[in-house]
Structure 1
Amino acid sequence: MGGYTYILADMRRGRTYIGVTNDLVRRVYEHREGLVEGYTKKRNIKRLVYFESHDDITDAIAREKTLKRWYRHWKDALIEEHNPDWRDLWDEIIK
């Protein structure tokens, strides 16, 4: 089973959240609608700014753990390399 590693943000260079899931559309929808208790709901973090697809969920989990250990400026650079304006990628994943 495949998986996704994703980064949500509240604004450009604002607070971020890194997560992993096997269903990106469902999981981002849960964050957007406030259905997920905790950090993202309390801080209104719901903009999908980056994601990666993995063939195996264990690879997605390993990548999530790696990204969570990164310095903040490395994470910002990763996002800006693929999404320089920190656009919400929601419309792209629901197509």
Structure 2
Amino acid sequence: MERAPVVYILASARAGTLYIGVTSNLLQRLHQHREGLIPGFTSRYGVARLVWFEMHGDMASAIGREKQLKKWNRAWKLSLIEERNPHWEDLAVTMLGLDPLDTSSPSFPRKRESTDMRLQQDGLPSMDPRFRGDDEDLL
């Protein structure tokens, strides 16, 4: 695959955690995500399965589409994926020829330690407020 602007969606599993990104080199970026080389969301939550992608003629168009998709509600994103990939296959394997993810390996997902971990008053790690269910912290 030549270098070209691409918007892509990764998933942790069927209808699992989603990540939307943009790149000019999809194969390189997929390698980075699959090996946990990019610290942050995808390595923290094991989001590495390519379930949707869309090529663009220029990076400005790709970035605009990425921003649009990130504003969509979850149901619209799931529908977009299922229109072209109803079985949630890893397109990195079926279309791009990469090796399948070894999800049985104890090192999968390859999570990196986060340096921005929140600490509670007692010094123990705290769960991100988005996942605790106490939405008053987000107001």
Same fold? TM cut 0.5: yes
Pick the TM interval, shorter chain: over 0.9
**In terms of mean alpha carbon deviation, does 56-65 or 84-93 score higher?**
84-93
**Amino acid of the structure 2 residue aligned with 1:49:** V
1:60, 1:94 → 2: CA distance? Answer: 23
**Amino acid of the structure 2 residue aligned with 1:17:** Y
Q: Which runs of 4+ in 1 moved over 2 A?
A: none
SS at match of 1:62: helix
TM-score, normalised by the number of residues in structure 1 = 0.96
1:93, 1:36 → 2: CA distance? Answer: 20
Shift of 1:93: 1.9
How well do the aligned residues superpose, as a CA RMSD in angstroms? Answer: 1.3
Name structure 1 gaps, 5 residues minimum.
none
**Amino acid of the structure 2 residue aligned with 1:67:** L
Candidates 7, 32, 56, aligned match of 2:58:
56
1:28, 1:90 → 2: CA distance? Answer: 8
Name structure 2 gaps, 5 residues minimum.
99-139
SS at match of 1:7: strand
Aligned residues between the structures? 95
Q: Which residue of 2 aligns with 1:93?
A: 96
Structure in which a larger fraction of residues adopt strand: 1
Mapping of residues 44-83 of structure 1, within 5 Å: 44-83=46-85
Percent identical: 49
1:43-79 per-residue CA deviation (whole Å, 9 max, x = no partner) reads 0000000000001011000000000000000000000
**Amino acid of the structure 2 residue aligned with 1:12:** R
| Greater relative CO, 1 or 2 (CA 8 Å, sep 6+) | 1
TM-score, normalised by the number of residues in structure 2 = 0.66
Structure in which a larger fraction of residues adopt helix: 1
Shift of 1:94: 3.9
Larger of the two Rg values belongs to structure: 2
